[in-house]
Amino acid sequence: MSPVDSLLRSILSTAIISLCLLSCSAVSSKNKAPLSVAELSDYFLDDAFEVSLSAIDAPEFFLELPEAYKSELDKIMAPLEIEFDRYSALRAWAFEQIEDYQFEITETYSLGELNTNRRINCLSFSVMFVAAARHVNMPAEFQLVYAPPYWDIDNKTWINNQHIDVTGIIKRKSSDTDPFLEPRHSLASGLSCINPTFVRSNSFRYVVDLNPAIVSMPLKRERLDDRQILSLYFNNKGMASLHAGDRGMAYAYTKKALLTDSGCAPAWNNLGVLFSRLGELDYAENAFLKAIEMDSDASSARSNIAHTYRRQGKYEQAIEMELLIAKFRNDNPYYHQFLAAQSLNDSDYEQAIEHLENAVARKHNELAFYHELALAHQKLGHDDKVMQNLRKARRHAKGIQKQRFSGKLEALQALVESP
């Protein structure tokens, strides 16, 4: 591999890996008016499953820190009075706890289980941090991060597998010379001028994420309350049970998720999947329709209900839904990125470039598209196109990503121009 190839791969790998790490088996709901227990009962079918909600652990433990964690934090925080110092210590403590943990996408463990299982995902990490923050009187909220969607291996289902992290507002650590708090600069003449970096607020919003690379990515975010997070926890438990082949526990956890938050769209979708596997197609249809009602972007539910319509013999409705899915898919830039990935795997670089150009035409500020365009052009020996697309990627990067691009592009330019 040439030095140019090696450096190019290094630049490209940063964004590709970051995008792959976004999934944490949790998707938020876009809530409508909550359903009452009586209204929800019309969608459940308890007799079809040999399990009851009593089999599920009570949720009181959900945001309750283990005593060992409380003792550690109390000792750490005792000498610290400034809020910023307490935040910094809390952040360091949280990441120290998980240094030897393994990332676990298929299971979400409670705070009491984390230390035993040594496996963690974004939801369980966020619960740990929020619980710890509240124990030491630090403001902390859950936050949903909307990641780009991806398609399953059969190219039939849109997977919207999102990410949870933590945010809050704390006071800045200020001093007499803090430029953020100085509205004017003093001049040698004794006069002063306006400080262009002055920020009127003495507070800032922090973000803590299991994957720190996500913090600087320009993704849509939405605050979630404790009830929504608990519902996602139960939903994830249901997904894990379903993967393990235990339909009874999957149903119990999914029902508990909906009783906790009736607007949890992924729980409605999972309920539909359970009924579909039992052949209860009318119940499956109702659950999928509810998922779509709760989240208009619930394309997994749309794919599922199209399949359900065909099994029911409702072919006109199936075709109508399939056409809608196809249109949505074609209009979505990440679907064309998915097609490009397939072409890259097949070494069809010309086709990959065409798919990526279609993606750019639909979303021009996604730096990953330009990364992959650069990779495809590099395979074809188009050095000018490589540099052109890497510059575009840098243009749409932010924060530390932009700094890294600047340094690596200079190095790449020097390699390209060297005799």
pLDDT class for 405, splitting at 50, 70, 90?
low
The CA–CA distances, whole Å, from 248 to 59, 110, 228, 233, 351 equal 19, 20, 23, 17, 46
> What percentage of the chain's residues is helix, strand, coil (to nearest 5)?
60, 10, 30
pLDDT at residue number 103:
81
Beta pairing partners, 163: 145
Half-sphere exposure of 392 (CA within 13 A, CB side): 20
pLDDT at residue number 145:
87
Report the pLDDT averaged over residues 298-305.
Answer: 85
Beta pairing partners, 192: 186
pLDDT at 319 over 60: yes
What's the length of the chain?
419
Beta strands in 64-172 (DSSP E): 102-103, 119-120, 141-145, 150-151, 158-159, 163-171
Do 78 and 89 touch, CB atoms closer than 8 A? no
Beta strands in 19-95 (DSSP E): none
Domains 3-22+332-417 and 37-55+226-331 share a fold: yes
Mean pLDDT of the chain: 80
| Residue 81 tokens, joined | 């009075």
Stretch among 17-21, 130-134, 325-329 having the lowest mean pLDDT: 17-21
| Residue 182 tokens, joined | 């100085």
| Residue 117 tokens, joined | 């299982």
pLDDT at residue number 150:
59
| Residue 335 tokens, joined | 């679907």
pLDDT at residue number 17:
24
DSSP secondary structure string, 285-352?
HHHHHHHHHH-TT-HHHHHHHHHHHHHHT-HHHHHHHHHHHHHHHHH-HHHHHHHHHHHHHTT-HHHH
pLDDT, tens digit, for every residue of 33-88? 788 888 999 999 999 987 766 667 655 567 888 899 999 999 999 999 999 999 99
Q: What are phi and psi of 197, to 5 degrees?
A: -95, 5
Stretch among 7-16, 263-272, 313-322 having the lowest mean pLDDT: 7-16
Instruction: Tell me the three state secondary structure of residue 121.
Output: coil
C-alpha span between 182 and 240 (Å, rounded): 53
> Over pLDDT 90: what percentage of the chain?
40
pLDDT, tens digit, for every residue of 350-378? 999 999 999 999 999 888 899 899 889 98
The CA–CA distances, whole Å, from 385 to 102, 373, 406 equal 39, 8, 17
| Residue 234 tokens, joined | 């139960």
C-alpha span between 294 and 27 (Å, rounded): 12
Domain limits, the chain: 3-22+332-417, 37-55+226-331, 62-224
Distance of CA 54 to the CA centre of its chain: 31
Q: Class for domain 62-224, per CATH?
A: alpha beta
Q: Class for domain 37-55+226-331, per CATH?
A: mainly alpha
Nearest residue to 42 (alpha-carbon basis) of 258, 330, 195: 258
pLDDT, tens digit, for every residue of 164-184? 999 999 988 765 444 444 444
| Residue 155 tokens, joined | 């190219």
β 150-151/221-224 pair status: unpaired
Fold (topology level) of 3-22+332-417: 1.25.40
pLDDT, tens digit, for every residue of 130-140? 999 999 999 99
Orientation of helix 383-395 relative to helix 400-417, angle to 10°: 160
Query: Using the 8-state DSSP alphabet, how is residue 141 labeled?
Result: E
C-alpha span between 38 and 35 (Å, rounded): 8
Cβ partners under 8 Å of residue 324, min gap 6: 302
